Amino acid sequence: MHGTAAGPLIDPTSRPAAAAPPDGDASAGTSQAVGDVVRRRAAELVAADMDPGSVAGHVRDAQREMARFRMGYEFGIEEMLTKIRILRSEFRQTHDHNPIEHVTSRLKSMDSILDKAVRYGCATDVPTIRERIRDIAGIRITCSFESDAYWVADMLSQQPDVEIVQRKDYIAAPKANGYRSLHLIVRIPVFLSDRTEHVFVEVQIRTIAMDFWASVEHKLSYKYRGDVPGHLATELLDAAHTAAELDARMGRLRDEVRDLGTEGAPGAPRDAETTPA
């Protein structure tokens, strides 16, 4: 991937235009895309009259390098998930409220990585992609309340091996379309047998209401290829305001319950009912 005799393995001009669906099965999509990229590269080398033995060697090298590239991000996700799991378990044992409802993760597909590299106008060699595309590994944490989202962000930020590279607070300052979420780009070390890799992981933290809205908006945006018709965009913005109001009301109700000291009383939702991280 760093550049073979016949050029970089990741060549955005040699792949089909269609990108993988953004919310698809990330790991399956990525291996599929990696396989496609390697097969296309092999076909190019054959067409360039390279002898079959050299082509096989190049393909093996490329496959190995692709696997190494993905591995760092997979382990980065695992490390962050472990941190989140520990926070969640500790909180569950010491408090009667669980700030984390559920957690999902995904590895960006090779097609999406290349789309973004093209959009950023950056080179497609591995070091450049590693540096410029910072959401190859992604984690989404869904909380019940806005204050929980900030709490989770603070807890992760305080960990000594988590470097906060960027923090975007779309809760305090929503996007023009109404999108709200707290985004962190973190950089964490991944300790391998022969080296330490530092990988970027994007962590999106949001409430259930924000997540519901973003999921509907994403589907509409995908359906209309990013150009949602005016009346639907207005409807979405209105729904975002409603979701924000719901978050605010639920926060006030939670404060009320907390003041009364009745959390954990009969009838209150039990932690065991939530999805484990």
Residues that bind ligand 0O2 (CB under 6 A): 22, 135, 138, 168, 175, 177, 179, 183, 214, 217-218
The rounded distance, in Å, linking the Cα atoms of 107 and 25 is 9
- Tell me whether residue 45 or residue 184 sits nearer to ligand 0O2 (CB atom): 184
Contact 30, 138 (CB under 8 A): no
Residue in the structure block whose two tokens are 């089909």:
16
Q: What's the CA gap between 183 and 12, in Å, rounded? A: 28
Q: Closest distance between ligand 0O2 and the C-beta of residue 126, in Å?
A: 19
Residue appearing with tokens 């607070």: 169
Distance CA 56, CA 41 (A): 11
- DSSP-derived letter for residue 104 is E
Residue nearer to ligand 0O2 on the CB measure, 45 or 171: 171
- Directed axis angle between helix 146-157 and helix 52-94, to 10°? 120
Residues 6+ apart with CB under 8 A from 225: none
The CB-of-217 to ligand 0O2 minimum distance in angstroms stands at 4
Instruction: Determine contact, residues 27/105, Cβ cutoff 8 Å.
Output: no
E-strand spans in the chain?
100-107, 137-143, 163-169, 182-191, 196-207
User: Is the CB of residue 43 less than 8 Å from the CB of residue 52?
Assistant: no
Nearer to ligand 0O2, 220 or 257 (CB): 220
CA distance 47 to 50: 7
Catalytic residue set: 202
